[in-house]
Structure 1
Amino acid sequence: MEQKLEFRIATEQDLGQIVAMLADDILGSKRERYEQPLPESYLKAFQAIKDDPNNELVVAVDGNKVIGVQQITFTPYITHQGGWRATIEGVRTSSSVRSKGVGTKLIKWAIQRAKERGCHLIQLTTDKKRDDALRFYKHLGFQATHEGLKMKL
């Protein structure tokens, strides 16, 4: 089946499908709460992203079905002569379309968007437990050039 893939900024009506995708994953199932109605925290986060001109929550849609999502944050830096960089987070595709090219198209879309915004660099992180995701990003040209650290608060 050929998909008619479209990329667009997410709307509040997409939020249920987005959270369902995030929760449909071995790691996501431990941290997300997909229930109806959605917890208020998701609505607040969506509104904050929507109101921030340097954040974009992007969905891949096939017809009226959301089959992919990613958040892109554009950040100005003093380093690199005041350059901008893009950070991709929260990438997920629907389990029904995995390994069918949707993720590749989603990330390539983000790379193009970063270029349009004048970014000199695009970065992302993936959990070290996600071996398939790490291979996927390396295949697309991302390199593990830095060691990332996080602290839960």
Structure 2
Amino acid sequence: MNTDDFLRMNANKFPALQMGELRAQLATSDSRDTYPVMSTEYRDPYLALILSFFFGVFGVDRFYVGDIGVGFGKLALTVLGGIGGVIWWFVDLFLIVNRTRQRNYELAESYLRYARPATDDGAKSADTATADTDQPDTHDDESDFDDF
């Protein structure tokens, strides 16, 4: 599967504003680096909305998305406070679809970021480390045996 097919099939699972950026990153990455991104099963935003509608007051929608702390917060407010969990549930009905898409994008970004070598000024990437070994060896192997 190429990147265009992947993005076409999963267009509803990522934020529309960041699809161009994701497409560019996938196009410039090596195929072995894009494999984890394209083989991951991302969360469905509309399933998150359905979960939010029926079980969101208990935080199930946030657990599904991967926001574990927020899920526990909603659950605690519902169990302890009652009305606070209901208000949070109602607000989350409008936020959960975009939050699911954002979490999917963050997951894809983390896979691509992990696959790229570090390019800090102080750190050497794999390409520059091999380039340094091409310099001539100034060590004289025969001089080591002169001591014996």
Q: Same fold (TM over 0.5)?
A: no
In terms of Rg, which structure is larger?
A: 2
The TM-score, its normalising length taken from structure 1, stands at: 0.24
The TM-score, its normalising length taken from structure 2, stands at: 0.24
